[in-house]
Amino acid sequence: MGEGLTVGVTFYIHKGERSIWVNGGHQNAVFLVQLLRRCPNVARVIAINGGDGETPSSKMLLDGLDLDLQRFDAAADSIDVLVECGAQIPAAQAEQVHARGGKVVAYKFGNAFVLDAEKLIAGKGDTGIFNGTKFDTIWTNPQHMATNASYWAACYRCPVLCLPHIWEPLFLDMARAELKPGVSFGYAPKAGPKRIAIYEPNIDVVKLCHIPMLVCDLAYRERPELIDTVWVTNTDGLRKQLAFQRFHHTLDIGEHRAADGKHVCSCESRYNLVWFQATHADLVVSWQWENALNYAYYEALSGGYPLVHNSHLLPEGVGYRYHGFDAHDGAAVLLDVLQSHDQNHEAYEARADAFLETVRIDHQPNIDAHAEALQSLYTSD
């Protein structure tokens, strides 16, 4: 190991325009680089570009981050640990690192079991897991252990290690700085009906808008005067489908109109949460299935916005939790939030801020956990 490890973390730099907000994995790769640079047993971290482009688009917001972006061939002779993160590592690259006595790690931040199962059932492409690359260990986060730990350990034939979920308000602050004068990101208590936003990406079954829509609809049926608008983002791929149209039209929020004549529920495109909350919404209602930690939660909490969620991994009192798939429980929670949150906003915001400190890259337990994970690659031989 010498005086310190040189760690390579893979990125996928796209040839065309690509926004940092499209995939949380891009942000995760940046945060991982920044955290590893704080580990006492790391001398250098290189961002390894495994994509089809050479220069990140401006929408990736990577300028000024000092990522030390290189192709694998340029850095191969110095890499002690190669971490598959934003781009897949070909088997030949892993073999090259191993030949030098280095280690190869796969950092998993998606619910691979569910995504692979969907691909198998649909017969679309391959699962991407069997490309012949040999890993020494798998790193992942708490939200993926229950569904994926055994799956990964069996498929890759190596240990699976759970590491803390990490986040920084880096990109949130950039988005906040781009807001127009007079537009601010952050919840402000106010009287009257509230505007609700739903941000599930709707590209797989682990984060879908169906239950949040039902939560909002059940609450609206009971107390319509408390809800102004329900914005359902990321529905470009759904709203043209007959099945979604029929579901949408069974809901009161899909059929009823507000005082201004617009539908209570509005299906929208994809937007970054910072801008959309600052300009369109007061609350966030969310749902996930075995994906209980994600950056949308942290962004909403950072702005002090009431977050109605079903995550068992957010501490008690951080956001407002309902149970699993229970839309009726979610509606009861939402109704309580709509009526009582503003009186308790300061305490809510303090709890959120305290929690967010625990996911930061400067939080010492997070640094220690990653340093120990690197150390264990060599002490386990």
Whole-number Å distance between alpha carbons of 309 and 322: 6
If you count them, how many residues does the chain have?
A: 381
Cα 34 from chain centroid (whole Å) = 17
Question: What is the amino acid identity at position 315?
Answer: P
User: Please, what is the Cα angle at 299 between 315 and 55, to 5 degrees?
Assistant: 130
β 320-321/307-309 pair status: parallel
Q: 121: which residues sit within 8 A by CB, 6+ positions away?
A: none
What percent of the chain lies above the pLDDT cut of 70?
A: 97
Q: What is the mean pLDDT of residues 179-194?
A: 96
List pLDDT tens digits, range 149-165: 999 999 999 999 999 99
Q: Residue 362's pLDDT band (boundaries 50, 70, 90)?
A: very high
List pLDDT tens digits, range 133-148: 999 999 999 999 999 9
pLDDT of the residue at 22: 75
Q: Residue 53's pLDDT band (boundaries 50, 70, 90)?
A: confident
Which domains does the chain show, CATH number per domain? Answer: 5-168+360-379 (3.40.50), 177-357 (3.40.50.2000)
Q: What is the mean pLDDT of residues 224-239?
A: 94
Q: Residue 59: pLDDT above 90? A: no
pLDDT of the residue at 97: 97
Radius of gyration, alpha carbons of the chain:
22
List pLDDT tens digits, range 255-308: 987 777 788 999 999 999 999 999 999 999 999 999 999 999 999 999 999 999
Q: What is the mean pLDDT of residues 84-95?
A: 94
Q: What is the mean pLDDT of residues 346-373?
A: 98
3-class SS string, the chain: CCCCEEEEEEECCCCCCCCCCCCHHHHHHHHHHHHHCCCCCEEEEEEEECCCCCCCCHHHCCCCCCCCEECHHHHHHHCCEEEECCCCCCHHHHHHHHHCCCEEEEECCCCHHHHHHHHHHHCCCCCCCCCCCCCCEEEECHHHHHHHHHHHHHHHCCCEEECCCCCCCHHHHHHHHCCCCCCCCCCCCCCCCEEEEECCCCCCCCCCCHHHHHHHHHHHHHCHHHEEEEEECCCCCCCCCHHHHHHHHHCHHHHCECCCCCECEEECCCCCHHHHHHHHCCEEECCCCCCCCCHHHHHHHHCCCCEEECCCCCCCCCCEECCCCCHHHHHHHHHHHHHHHHHHHHHHHHHHHHHHHCCCCCCHHHHHHHHHHHHHHHHCC
List pLDDT tens digits, range 68-83: 999 999 999 999 999 9
